[in-house]
Structure 1
Amino acid sequence: MPLHLKIRPSVNRLFDDSYEVILADTEASRAIHHKIRYQVYCMERSFENPADFPAGEESDHWDTHAAQFIVRQRDSGAWVAAIRLVLPYAASFPLETLHCLTPGHADHIRRRHLGEISRVCVIRSPKPHHRNPHLDHHFDHVTPDRESQVMLGLIRTIIVHGLERGIEHCYLLVTDAFARLLRRIGVVLHSVGIATEHRGFRAPYLMGLRETAASLCNRSAAIHALFARAIHAYQPCSVLEDLARAPLPRPLPLPYWGSAAVTRPYSYRYRLPAPTHHAQLG
C-alpha cells in the first residue's frame, strides 16, 4: 500500500480531531468492517473475487479470532479505513499457512504474546458508493495527504489494544515498498522468513509493540503526544451504543489515560514509553 507518509508536527491533533477508531464488537460494526474490506480488496485492488462475497462483505475464518477495527471521520461520520489483529488463540496465524517463516524464529516468545496484523484497508476511491452498490453515503475515502495520519492512528490502535491484551509482538506480511515506508515513520520490523508470492511478493516480519512504540515516540514530540493520548486509540462500538441509549457517569482518571467517558479492562498494561534526548520537538 503506497502511502504519502510525511509526518507533520500536528499529527496528534490532526488524527484525533479528524478521525476516531472503533472496535467492531457488534454485528453491525463488523458488517461495516467487512464492507470496507470488500471495497478495498475486491473493488479497488482486485485481490479477491467479488463473486465470492455476494453480500459485499469480504471475510475469512480468521475473523472469529480477531479484533476488528474501523475508522470514521468525525465531521461526516463516514467510514474510511479498517484493520484487523488476529489474536493468539487462533489455531494458526494467516502468515503461518504460507510456510515462509524461518524455523525457530519465535522460540523465545510465548504464543499468548503473539498476534498478526492484517487486512489493513484505506478507502481511496472518492464517493465509493457510486461504484460499489453495497455501500451508501456513509462511506468515504482518505485523501493522499491524510493517509499518513490514518496509518499512525491505526498503528497506535494496534499497539494499545495489543498491549492491553498481553500481546507483545505481531506478525506482518508486507511488500518491500510498504516495509520501507513503515520503517521510515519509525515502525521496527524484524525479518523472520523469506519473501513469498501472495498477491505479489511479500515478506514476513515481526514487530515488537513496545519497541515500535518507543521508536515512534522518539521520532517527534508530536507523535509522542499522539501516543500519550492512548484513551483515544479506540472505543468499543458496544459501549458507544450503550452510551447513546443511557449516558454513564464519568469514572475517575486512570494513570497515563486521563478522564474519559468509558474505560477498558487491562488498560493499566499500556504504559507510554518515556521520551529520550533524541525526540525532536514538533
Structure 2
Amino acid sequence: MMFDDYFDVYLADNDESKQIHYNIRYQVYCEEMGFEKISNGGQLEMDDWDKHAVHFIVKNKLTGHFVGAMRLILPELGYLPLEKHCRLSNGVIKSDLHRSVEVSRLCVIKEVRRRSNDGGPPTGLTEKHSVHDDVDYLCNERHLNRSIIWGMFRAASLYCAENRIHNWYFLTTKMLYRLITKENFRMDQIGDSCELNGERFPYRIHMAEILQNPIWNQGFQLHYKCYSAKDKVVLKQCA
C-alpha cells in the first residue's frame, strides 16, 4: 500500500484544523482509553502544552475522514514534558534544547485500526464503531495502522528539517518503541521508566535517523499541506 495514494497529512495551522486534532484525541484518550476525563460538551481533548505545540492530522482521501493525529511540543518554557515525569540519566541536551521537540499524543482512530491486521496497535487500543463502506478496500492491507504512523512521522520530520530541529524526544511504551525500531530507527533510552497511564520510557532519536531511513522510498514522497489552504484550487506547502 502506498500511503501517498490514500492519505494526506496536514499541518493544523488554524482553529478548524486544531479542533479536528483535539477531537481525534478525545475519541482515543477520553472515550476509548479513559486516560483523560470525558467532557460534558465539545468532545475535545486539550492541555496546557497545546499552545506550545505544532499539530498534525491525517485525512483519508477517499472518505474524507480524519484518522490520525500527532503533535510536536516545542521547548518554549525551557524544558520538555518528559523532564517532569521521569528521572533522566542521560537527559535532554540543554545546549541543543532550542533544536528539540517532544513527540506527543500520537494516535490513530479505532475505525482504522480494526481494519488493520496489526496484532497489537502501538497504543494498545481496542475497537469502537463502524466505518464508511468506502474504506473496504483497506480491509486486506497489512500494517495500515503503522503506515499512518509513518506518514505522520514523515510530515513531522520534514517540518523539523525546515525548522532546524535536531532531536525528537518520546515518553512512550515499549510496544511503540519496538514498532519504531523494527523499521531501523535507532532510539536511545535516556532514563528510568515512570508511571503515566501505564509504564512509559523516555527516549531520544536524532533527526538524521529519521530523515535517512529508506522507508520513505515506499510511498511516502509527498509533503505535508497547510490545512488553511485546503479549499484553494492549488494546495501549497506551508511556508
Aligned mate of 1:85, from 66, 72, 75: 72
- SS at 1:50 equivalent: coil
Match of 2:236 in 1: 262
CA contact (8 A) 2:166 2:207 kept: yes
Letter in 1 for 2:165: I
- SS at 2:105 equivalent: strand
Partners of 1:56 and 1:73 lie apart in 2 by 21
How many residue pairs were aligned? 220
1:205-220 aligned within 5 A: 205-214=203-212, 216-217=213-214
1:125 CA displacement: 3.7
1:81-120 aligned within 5 A: 81-102=68-89, 106-107=93-94, 109-120=95-106
Aligned mate of 2:35, from 36, 41, 47: 47
TM-score (norm 2): 0.82
Compared CA separation, residues 226 and 64, structure 1 to 2 (3 A): same
Match of 1:67 in 2: 54
Partners of 2:110 and 2:96 lie apart in 1 by 38
Larger Rg, first or second structure (1 or 2): 1
Match of 1:121 in 2: 107
Quick check: 1:38 aligned with 2:31? no
- SS at 1:83 equivalent: strand
Query: Tell me, which stretches of 5 or more residues in structure 1 are unaligned?
Result: 1-10, 249-260, 266-282
Match of 2:165 in 1: 167
Letter in 1 for 2:32: E
CA contact (8 A) 1:44 1:125 kept: no
CA contact (8 A) 2:21 2:55 kept: yes
- CA displacement, residues 88-120 of structure 1 (integer Å, 9 cap, x when unaligned): 32443221221422265524x412111010000
Letter in 1 for 2:35: F
Match of 2:123 in 1: none
- SS at 1:177 equivalent: helix
1:188 CA displacement: 1.7
- CA displacement, residues 6-48 of structure 1 (integer Å, 9 cap, x when unaligned): xxxxx5xx21010001111111111000000000001111111
1:179 CA displacement: 0.6
Aligned mate of 2:226, from 236, 256, 266: 236
Letter in 2 for 1:224: N
Query: Tell me, which stretches of 5 or more residues in structure 2 are unaligned?
Result: 113-127
**Aligned structure 1 segments of 4 or more residues deviating by more than 3 angstroms:** 140-145
- SS at 2:110 equivalent: coil
Supply the RMSD in Å over aligned alpha carbons.
Answer: 2.7
